[in-house]
Structures are given as structure tokens and as C-alpha cells.
Amino acid sequence: MQITPVLLCGGSGTRLWPLSRKSYPKQFAPLTGGATLFQASARRLAGPGFAPPLVVTGAEFRFIVTEQLAAAGVDPGAILIEPEGRNTAPAVLAAAVHAAAADPEAILLVAPSDHVIPDAAAFRAAVQAGLPAVAAGRLVTFGIAPDRPETGYGWLELAAAPDGTGAPVPLTRFVEKPDAARAAAMLAAGTYLWNAGIFLFRAADILAAFRAHAPGLIAPVTAAVEGAKADLGFLRLAAGPWGQAEAISIDYAVMERAGNLSVVPYAGAWSDLGGWDAVWREAGPDAAGVVAAGHATAIDCADTLLRSEAEGLELVGLGLSGIVAVAMPDAVLVAAKDRAQDVKLAVAALKARGARQAEVFPRDHRPWGWFESLAVGPRFQVKRIVVHPGAALSLQSHHHRSEHWIVVQGTARVTVDGEVRLVTENQSVYIPLGAVHRMENPGKVEMVLIEVQTGSYLGEDDIIRYEDVYARG
């Protein structure tokens, strides 16, 4: 029987600000290599033995999910859209209800999509090792062999030390994030592992556990799944009942109360990348403890992470110790490394000031591609717009601005007041104020154009949509 991965793909995007933002949380960013964490998670749980994954995500991320899955060569089984984030318990329950409708015996592997697990083969072997326990009706969780007295994670207390074969061990109990002394004691004891928040079970078994330990979630989540609407390949959960479901984590709602948990020990490398300190650790600091990524230069630094996230942006650290510095074109964070867990304070401070950088990523991803603002003046704005092959923007008009488009790569098919024409590299077109217009990429390569807007009001909300293949309002 194949295992169905359930990829949880929400996230608030505050802990790795400014690279991660509410509009573009960290699983979608290429944090540690070429692929994003989300893509790596999907690939890790693909191939022989795995069914197409079930993705649970928010409406604002749905096009990023499909775009990144396509680029990773992974075909999703279903993409469930949460009308709003309600923490992990309702998300897992929705996936279980959806899967059980087709097959109550379906085996689900629930995993966050923003963790780092470099050795995919070893992890798949650990998943296989859990199957006998699943067949026996157990809820299986995965415990990471600790290599330090980490106070930032929850721990799992095992009934016995792992025997080295990777075989599941019954769980005694969950341990909340400990203090340093307790963490050191658990590390020494040998019967404690880190809680990775990854689970393996049959759909019927987790539904039974929900009925036993979180019965209040059953009705609203089941109604949300049964009332879901198919929409361009997505399954939009019904907002009414979904909003009635308690926002609670799967650990609190079910796992810490269930008596039938087993732990598969996992000895390979793992990180939740839960802060810039974790990113520093995973990036492999040099002998002085320095990580310099992108266009970053460290001079006489120690115990420091320097990251420049943009082409053409040079970051230099001089004489630093215990510092994290992350530079983007619109925002720079400089923090004491031991305050990495407080980056949310930076986000909150900017949000209070009304700064868009608190939550909005400079590249705005849309179903047809993405755009970014290059310059904003008193009555003008310049944007770079990238349109995927075959994609089309909505047929639209604006009340307050006119636009000049100059194609600098590829070919655009442009409609202005009913007249259609092709515009290729080094050609331009003018969209007068009020004209009904559309931009499409009829080609096989990405189309890039520079848009110069002029007018008295240049907000994204000055848009009247007449037709939209992506069914937006």
C-alpha cells in the first residue's frame, strides 16, 4: 500500500524575516540550496511507495504551491485551501477526512514543509520502519537523535532506549521546551529524542483519535471538507464551518492525549530552521563560526551569519561577534545572534509603523508570474513584470493611471480596447487611462517587461477586472 504525504504549508513567516514574510513564508524561499524547503519536502516524499501528496495551504499561497510543485516535477494529489490558518489540528483532520472518504485505510505521512532533512533516502527508510506499528493501529511520530541540549524544541520521552535498528519504541510522554539543565539531563539519559512534528498513521486511526480526544473539531472540519468547492484544481474548504474549528495544534489536541503513540528514532540530520541561529548552524560555519552567503563579505568576524539576498547588494561585516545580518533590497535585519528567536519583535515594530516590509515580500507572486517595484516617484512607478509561458493577466482597466509597457525579453500578446497585437523584445505599447487591456505570454520562455505607470493614484486596488482565467474578483 502506498503512503500519502500530507504536506502542511502554512506559516506566518516571522522567524526568518526579512527573507521570510507573511506573504511569502520560508518554505517557499531557496534557503539552503537551489530547491526551496517546500520543493525538497515534496521530493523527499515522492517516488516508489508514495502516492501523490495532499497539500494543505492558504489561499494566498496556492499559486506559489502549484508553481513550485511543477518546477520540482511533483504532481499533487489534491491541494486543500484553508480559508484561514487554524493551526495544525484542523489541517491534519481535514486531510484525514479527505483521504478517508476515498479509503479509510489510507496511510498518511503528515509533515511540515519547512524542515531540513538532507538525507532523503535515510528518512524514507525511517518511514518504512514505522509501517509495522501503523499496521498495528499505532500513531507513529518521528524522534530526532539529539546532538546538543536544545532548549528550543519539544522532546519525546521513550519507554526504552532505541535498540539501534530503527524499530519503533512506545512513547511515554511529550516534554515541553525544557530549560538548559533539563535539556542536558535528557541528552545524557539516552531515552529522549527531539519532537520533529512528523506523523505516520492510517486515516481511520487518526480519525478515531480525534473522536476520542478532540471531538469538537469533528463536525466543523468534516463540514468544511464536505462543503469544499473545486476551483481551478484547488479544493477550497468551506469557510463557514472552518471558522468554527478551534485553532489548536495537533500535539495539544490529540498527540499528547493519545495512549497509542510509537516513536521511530531518526539518527540523520534534521532542522526546523526555526530562526536565523538555526540557519547559521545548518549552513556549516567555518572555523571562526562565520557563514557568509550571497554577496556577503566577513572581515575579522566570529560566530556570525551574513546573508545578502539580492544580486547587486553587497553586505560587509567588520569585527562582528555573535551577529546575524540579513540584507534584502527593501529591508535589512541586524540582530544579536542570541536574540534570533525575537525577530518577531522586528516584524511587530515595522507593522506598528505601517511599513509594508513587515509582511509583504518585494516580489509579488501571482498565478501568472510575479512583479516587483523598481522605483516609486510622486506620480509614477516602475515595475518589472515576469509572465510565465502560456499565462495571462486578467482583462482589466484602471481609473487613475496609464501605463507604458516595454518588452525586454520574450514576446507579449497585448490586447488594448479589443485590438490584439504581438509585442516583442525592444518594442513598447501604451495603455491609456481607462483602456481595457490584457497582457499574455503566448511563447515558450518567460516574458519580461518593464511597466512605467503614471497617474495620480498607483495602488494595486485601482483595477477593474473583466475576465480572469484565475477566477479572481
Interacting residues toward a copy of itself by CB under 8 A: 18, 295, 297, 299-300, 306, 308, 311-321, 323, 325, 327, 329-336, 338-339, 342-343, 345-346, 349-350, 353, 355, 357, 374-380, 382, 384, 402, 404, 406, 408-409, 425-426, 428, 430, 448, 450, 452, 454
Q: How far is the CB of 121 from a copy of itself (least distance, A)?
A: 37
Q: How far is the CB of 180 from a copy of itself (least distance, A)?
A: 19
Closer of 43 and 351 to a copy of itself (Cβ): 351
Closer of 182 and 384 to a copy of itself (Cβ): 384
| Cβ-Cβ contacts under 8 Å for 300 (sequence gap 6 or more) | 318, 319
Residue 462 Cα distances to 71, 148, 394, angstroms: 32, 53, 13
**3-state DSSP call for residue 96?**
helix
CB 264 within 8 A of CB 142: yes
Instruction: Please count the other Cβ atoms lying within 10 Å of the Cβ belonging to residue 179.
Output: 9
Q: How far is the CB of 340 from a copy of itself (least distance, A)?
A: 9
**Helix boundaries (H) for 37-106:** 37-44, 62-72, 88-102
**Measured CA angle at 156 (ends 150, 160), to 5 deg:** 120
**Helix boundaries (H) for 113-196:** 120-135, 180-189
Q: How far is the CB of 249 from a copy of itself (least distance, A)?
A: 27
CB 28 within 8 A of CB 64: yes
Q: How far is the CB of 383 from a copy of itself (least distance, A)?
A: 10
Q: Running DSSP on this structure, what letter comes out for residue 138?
A: P
User: Nearest to residue 191, comparing CAs of 164, 169, 158, 218?
Assistant: 158
Q: How far is the CB of 348 from a copy of itself (least distance, A)?
A: 9
**Measured CA angle at 146 (ends 140, 152), to 5 deg:** 90
Q: How far is the CB of 375 from a copy of itself (least distance, A)?
A: 5
Q: How far is the CB of 43 from a copy of itself (least distance, A)?
A: 29
Q: How far apart are CA 214 and CA 258, in angstroms?
A: 10
Q: What is 138-174 written as a DSSP string?
A: PEEEEEEPPSS--SSS-EEEESS---SS---EEEEEE
CB 299 within 8 A of CB 288: no
**3-state DSSP call for residue 458?**
coil
Instruction: Please count the other Cβ atoms lying within 10 Å of the Cβ belonging to residue 44.
Output: 21
Closer of 185 and 422 to a copy of itself (Cβ): 422
Closer of 43 and 295 to a copy of itself (Cβ): 295
Closer of 329 and 434 to a copy of itself (Cβ): 329
Closer of 349 and 422 to a copy of itself (Cβ): 349
Residue 401 CA neighbour count, 13 Å, CB half = 23
Q: How far is the CB of 206 from a copy of itself (least distance, A)?
A: 40
CB 458 within 8 A of CB 401: yes
Closer of 12 and 402 to a copy of itself (Cβ): 402
Closer of 14 and 113 to a copy of itself (Cβ): 14
Q: How far apart are CA 157 and CA 150, in angstroms?
A: 15
Closer of 343 and 412 to a copy of itself (Cβ): 343
Q: How far is the CB of 384 from a copy of itself (least distance, A)?
A: 6
- Residue 312: burial class (beta carbons within 10 Å; 0-12, 13-18, 19+): exposed
Q: How far is the CB of 176 from a copy of itself (least distance, A)?
A: 25
Closer of 223 and 315 to a copy of itself (Cβ): 315
Closer of 95 and 292 to a copy of itself (Cβ): 292
Q: How far apart are CA 110 and CA 24, in angstroms?
A: 22
Instruction: Please count the other Cβ atoms lying within 10 Å of the Cβ belonging to residue 377.
Output: 10
Closer of 82 and 403 to a copy of itself (Cβ): 403
CB 58 within 8 A of CB 239: no
Q: How far is the CB of 459 from a copy of itself (least distance, A)?
A: 16
Q: What is 375-404 written as a DSSP string?
A: EE-SSEEEEEEEE-TT-BPPEEE-SSEEEE
